[in-house]
Amino acid sequence: DINPRAHSYTKYNTWDTIQAWIASISSSNPELISRQVIGNTYEGRPMNVLKIGRKSSSTKPSIFMDCGIHAREWISTAFCQWFVKEALSTYGTDSEMTSLLNQMDVYVLPIFNIDGYDYTHKTNRMWRKTRSAQSGSSCIGADPNRNWNAGWCTTGASPNPCSDTFCGSAPESEIEVKNVADFIRRNKSSIKAYLTIHSYSQLLLFPYSYTFALAEHHNELMAVAKGASNVLRSLYGTEYTSGPGAATIYPAAGGSDDWAYDLGVKYSFTFELRDTGRYGFLLPESQIKPTCEETMLAVKYIASHVQKN
Ligand SMILES: NS(=O)(=O)N[C@@H](Cc1ccccc1)C(=O)O
Ligand SMILES: [Zn+2]
């Protein structure tokens, strides 16, 4: 075993532990889960997409969910691991999950920004960006949530490589972003929803962040976000705010949700998980379980809406 420390769903696992977990869980149930490497990170780590759903010879409609695009948002990466465990362990007993995995596939990228995540464990807990070298600067990395080709670098992003919201030298300059964008483009006819998991602030956002203009499907997206926030609150009373990114958090161009929406993925949402600032990115491990349980309800709510529409 490359890593003596056991994997835990209620701890913030290291990259080595997560890599070992991906290998074992993706071979645990060939009827329900498989894995594909969609490319490597800048520092050469493999980006694994887990495909979860009842095996079918034909292509099923799907949902794409990524976690850990921002390195320091550890609760996000913990949630994708929790989702995978819940999906596999409740298929066959939970009617919603069984129906979802029979009718659709869920593509899960448990850790988008692996280089950055490893760096937060080893060097700087508050790192946010990728770890790529930037020509003409000694500063490292670009913000992977400013690097998508959606109003790229027009607002709420910086052209300065030393900024934490550096938009990159060009759209998809970050290999991690290009790998995911390529995957979604290849599968865009079957991908019906895009969920990207961040922290913190307790928000359920949807397009647009690059403009205050309302999205074509604003009313439906708002209704789905509110319904998801309501069911999330029903478990522990955690309060979420729903709304378009620009007005609900701040204008910011180059985000993955805006890009997916403009590609044609109608149900595109960004989750900002717990908390509202007391611990911020340093959410204690004691809150992993309740956060994941309440977020499961919201994700399943959205998934069932997607299934029906
Ligand atoms: N997770 S966060 O604290 O960094 N907030 C996000 C907010 C956000 C969400 C969706 C599109 C653009 C911006 C960010 O990328 O700034
Ligand atoms: Zn984030």
66 near 109, Cβ under 8 Å? yes
Q: Hey, which bits of the chain come out as E strands?
A: 33-40, 46-52, 62-67, 105-109, 191-199, 203-206, 241-244, 267-273
Ligand nearest to the CA of 249: 1
pLDDT tens digits, one per residue of 113-168: 999 999 999 999 999 999 999 999 999 999 999 999 999 999 999 999 999 999 99
Distance CA 227, CA 249 (A): 19
pLDDT in tens, 63-77: 999 999 999 999 999
Which phi and psi (to 5°) does residue 36 adopt? -140, 135
C-alpha R_g of the chain: 18
Pocket lined around ligand 1, Cβ cut-off 6 Å:
70, 73, 145, 198, 205, 209, 245, 249, 252, 255, 257, 270, 272
What's the pLDDT score for residue 114? 99
Is the pLDDT at 31 greater than 80, yes or no?
yes
- Residue 188's pLDDT is 97
Q: With beta carbons less than 8 A apart as the criterion, state whether 128 and 116 touch.
A: yes
ipTM for the assembly: 0.99
Active site residue 216: no
Phi, psi of 194, deg, nearest 5: -130, 120
Predicted TM-score (pTM) of the model is: 0.98
Closest ligand to C-alpha of residue 68 is 2
- Ligand 1 centroid to Cα of residue 209, in Å, is 9
Query: What was the pLDDT predicted at 2?
Result: 56
From 96, 272, 285, 293, the catalytic residue: 272
Question: CB-hemisphere CA count at 13 Å for 288?
Answer: 21
Q: What is the reported pLDDT for 302?
A: 99
